[in-house]
Amino acid sequence: MQVVVRGLGAPPDTSTGPVIVVGGHSPVFTGCRVAARHESVVENEEDGTEIAVCDPVAWSQVWPRLRRFYS
């Protein structure tokens, strides 16, 4: 598994595994399936956050849209 932090730049297109998306629904990712929900021991805004597994993407094509989406 490769962890992507948006401030570090796009992963290479050779990274072809599934994408883990935490919270929110980005129009960039397709084929997403909720794998889990975060359950906090303290009731807060993060409680119930969805964790989804999405289809692989071509990072060089989606990265610019992610930068705008999350900026």
**What would the pLDDT profile of 34-68 be if each residue is shown by its tens digit?**
999 988 888 887 788 899 999 999 988 888 877 65
For residue 69, the model assigns a pLDDT of 46
Give the integer Cα–Cα distance in Å for 50 and 5.
18
Q: pTM of the full predicted structure?
A: 0.73
